[in-house]
């Protein structure tokens, strides 16, 4: 089978994000929620990578020597800080319109990032290998989560690390992500998320284990509407959450 036949990409989901591509770096635009969450995501990601690979985040380039894939990279909100920390970064996205946006912004920032319009499956078929795979807010948009996570597992070197994030599926997440973010706050266009595609932490852990990885950490990312801020919580995984897993050596 070809990579095209094996792809887990959902064309309708790709079209949604391609339509918003030009707004990736507008902190008040359609990706405002990601801009607000990004410092918390980065805090979690960098600490997980540092712990797994024995790196000191106080160093100038603590991730130097690590090859990192940001799958579903969008405009590069995570790829750019990873490059600044010294990692060799490949940013991949199935939405072709995101790639030139990401490339132009990286050039403006003086960063070297290898952006590609491709899928996890095509990278795996090509034999690409990475120390780290960032898989943030993607799994709830693919057609076959297990096949997609299996491709991500294949992309990791033995001992490699994957950080994945998604949204829990429960009444609270429906109210916050669908009613709140899309209808009341209008942070995102209506229809950006499909609640039925949200994945509970236990479901994601089972999928990751079936794909051949070992879960080592899970963490909630919690929005406080009173303080208008995000924070990490090991107890509250009710809406947004992240999960770290490693590939056995």
Q: Which residues are annotated as a binding site?
A: 41, 72, 93, 136
Q: How far apart are CA 219 and CA 243, in angstroms?
A: 6
* 214-224 and 229-233 beta bridge pairing: antiparallel
116 Rama sector, left if φ>0, alpha if ψ -120 to 50, beta otherwise? beta
CA distances from 108 to 79, 101, 141 (A): 14, 11, 30
Of 125, 120, 134, 132, give the one whose Cα is nearest residue 159: 132
Contact 33, 56 (CB under 8 A): no
The answer to whether the Cα torsion of 32, 109, 76, 240 is positive or negative is negative
Q: Which residues are annotated as a binding site for S-adenosyl-L-methionine?
A: 41, 72, 93, 136
Torsion angle, CA of 38/17/136/47, rounded to 10 degrees?
A: -20
């Amino acid at each position: 089978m070809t990579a095209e036949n094996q792809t887990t990409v959902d064309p309708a989901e790709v079209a949604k994000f391609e339509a918003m591509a030009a707004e990736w770096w507008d902190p008040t635009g359609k990706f405002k929620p990601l801009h607000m969450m990004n410092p918390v995501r980065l805090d979690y990601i960098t600490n997980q990578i540092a712990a797994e690979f024995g790196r000191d985040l106080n160093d100038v380039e603590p991730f130097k020597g690590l090859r990192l894939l940001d799958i579903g990279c969008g405009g590069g909100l995570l790829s750019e800080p990873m490059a600044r920390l010294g990692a060799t970064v490949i940013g991949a996205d199935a939405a072709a319109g995101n790639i030139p946006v990401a490339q132009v912004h990286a050039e403006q920032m003086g960063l070297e990032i290898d952006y590609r319009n491709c899928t996890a499956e095509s990278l795996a078929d090509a034999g690409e290998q990475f120390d780290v795979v960032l898989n943030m807010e993607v799994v709830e948009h693919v057609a076959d989560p297990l096949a997609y996570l299996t491709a991500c597992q294949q992309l990791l070197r033995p001992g490699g690390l994957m950080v994945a994030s998604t949204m829990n599926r429960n009444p609270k997440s429906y109210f916050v992500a669908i009613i709140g973010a899309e209808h009341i706050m209008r942070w995102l266009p209506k229809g950006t998320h499909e609640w039925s595609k949200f994945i509970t932490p236990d479901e994601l852990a089972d999928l990751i284990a079936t794909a051949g990885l070992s879960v080592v950490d899970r963490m909630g990312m919690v929005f406080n509407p009173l303080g208008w801020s995000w924070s990490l919580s090991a107890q509250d995984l009710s809406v947004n959450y992240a999960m770290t897993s490693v590939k056995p050596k």
